[in-house]
A = this chain, B = another copy of it.
Amino acid sequence: MAHVSIIGTGTMAQAIASVVGRGGHTVELLGENDQTQVTGDIVVLAVPYAAIPAVLAARGDSLAGKIVVDITNPVNFETFDSLTVPADSSAAIELAAELPQSRVLKAFNTTFAGTLASGTVGENTTTVLVAGDDTDAKSTLAGVVASGGLKVIDAGSLKRARELEALGFLQISLAANEKVSWTGGFGVVA
């Protein structure tokens, strides 16, 4: 059994909590401004990209030694025409640089909250793509997600977060333009 802390209380935080709970693991949801110490071995930062600096300022030290999961899509929501991170980087790579004592993973940014909650993207079982440089950390997170009834694919090193964020941006862009619904998007067929 894993014990998972989720920072954030929005729809993504709740959807990820439901996946963790379905797998029989314990989970705590903490508000962005909650000062309670995190107790999980896995800490999911389920906050908007813009809120990450405040979370790091408040909690950065307490994340040492933990698996930290970045789910953000750093979309420029004013233009909907680009990401706000440098083209040759990613939110996850930036986060890993800020948290050298943590094992940072990218996950959940290519799955809408609705597809995490339902477990399906159309006829496809929802697949969580995970990128990271620590194989054990990826295996631990994969086990939690799989026990919650979803599929998991190891997408490679943390460098692949750049492509995962491009995919997340594209999917959000398609939904915002009503080309796909917020309960659809990209399904993965193994």
Contacts and interface: CB of A to CB of B under 8 A. Distances in A.
Interface of A: 81-82, 86-88, 121-124, 153-157, 159-160, 162-164, 166-167, 169-170, 173-174, 177, 179-181, 184-190
* For the complex of A and B, 8 pairs with smallest distance between CB atoms: A166-B166, A122-B189, A184-B189, A87-B88, A87-B87, A123-B123, A163-B170, A163-B166
Contact of A163 (B122, B155, B159, B169): B169
A170 B173 contact: no
Contacts of A123: 122-124, 189
Nearest to A162: B166
Nearest to A159: B81
A179 B190 contact: yes
A68 B179 CA distance: 24
